[in-house]
Amino acid sequence: MKKILVTGALGQIGSELVGKLREIYGTSHVIGTDIRELEEKEGEGPFEVVDVMDADQLFSVAKKYNVDTMMHLAALLSAKAEAFPRVAWDLNLGGLFNALEVARELELQFFTPSSIGAFGPSTPRDNTPQDTLQRPTTMYGVNKVAGELLCDYYYSRFGVDTRGVRYPGLISHVTPPGGGTTDYAVEIYYEAMINKTYTSYISEGTYMDMMYMPDALDAIIQLMEADPGKLISRNAFNITAISAAPEDFAAAIQKHIPEFTLSYNVDPIRQEIADSWPNSIDASAARDEWGFQAVYDMDTMTREMLEKVAGKLV
């Protein structure tokens, strides 16, 4: 049975991942850590305050709980990384380096997510291949490409069992997103329920890949359980569920709230980031090497998001 330490456990992904892992591996087998203190409403189970920039602290908590796996989620997301590039460099690469060193020293299995942000304007836009040109023009993208390579290096040089996916924009109703370019795809559901209208900072016709959180969590669990002998891409599997523009979300919402309206007030910084990312990515390597297949599409995700958001607002 795995014993797992999760960094950045109070973020958009970690706050749901920890609960899901505890259902599978048992509460005492999953140690949540974050730079932030746990609030009472954020659940029970082992939790420690850990700053991933402090390598000794991360090492001693991993050793204290005798974990065999680390899922490293602490990072600064795309839009925030553009606002604070120096912090992004330090956290996204320095934190990752510290986490990989702990994995090497304690012989841990290791997961960390890359992103569709690891692609850039010269990458083929449609059906973006698994192996292709990666010349991103954002600080976040630079961090993610370097992170993919660093994880490959720890595998080939030191034999650390590193694994990862390139996440698309993730949509969830539990914890608000942490400052990414696809955050509009979460906000739109809240605004649809509250005001029946939404003003998008991303322009009409801007397609990006998206995924509902339950599929994103299943991807981590499946990849970490996959037969290592079958993994070729290892640290940066393209995965996707939906390729959509703001008007596609509006059309799906209008099936439930016909009076819903969408308007645009484009934010040039986030639009520029979105324009440098693929319209849709090819996830066949993940399907062939470890059987990944998303369950939710735009309609099933929208129905559930609207139900869950309505439940939160009463």
Which positions are catalytic?
A: 140
Residue type, 113: P
Stretch that binds ligand NAD, among 174-182, 217-225, 240-248, 281-289 (CB under 6 A): 174-182
**Residue closer to ligand NAD, measured from CB, 211 or 260:** 211
Distance CA 127, CA 59 (A): 40
Query: Rule CB under 6 A: is residue 235 a binding residue for ligand NAD?
Result: no
Question: Contacting ligand NAD (CB under 6 A), which of 45, 120, 136, 177?
Answer: 177
Closest CA to 100 of 138, 74, 118: 74
Query: Rule CB under 6 A: is residue 45 a binding residue for ligand NAD?
Result: no
Question: Contacting ligand NAD (CB under 6 A), which of 4, 5, 6, 11?
Answer: 11
Write down the least CB distance from residue 46 to ligand NAD, Å.
16
Distance CA 243, CA 88 (A): 27
Ranges within 289-308 binding ligand NAD (CB under 6 A) = none
Stretch that binds ligand NAD, among 39-47, 74-82, 122-130, 240-248 (CB under 6 A): 74-82
Three-class SS state of 136: coil
Query: Rule CB under 6 A: is residue 10 a binding residue for ligand NAD?
Result: yes
Residues 119-158, mask of contacts with ligand NAD (x by CB under 6 A): ----------------------------------------
CA-atom Rg of the chain in angstroms? 19
Query: Rule CB under 6 A: is residue 14 a binding residue for ligand NAD?
Result: yes
Identify the helix (H) or strand (E) that includes residue 306: helix 298-313
Residue type, 149: L
Stretch that binds ligand NAD, among 51-59, 102-110, 127-135, 233-241 (CB under 6 A): 51-59
Helix ranges, 75-124 (H): 78-83, 85-89, 96-106
List the beta bridge partners of residue 71: 6, 111
The residue nearest ligand NAD at its CB is: 11
Closest CA to 148 of 56, 87, 81, 234: 234
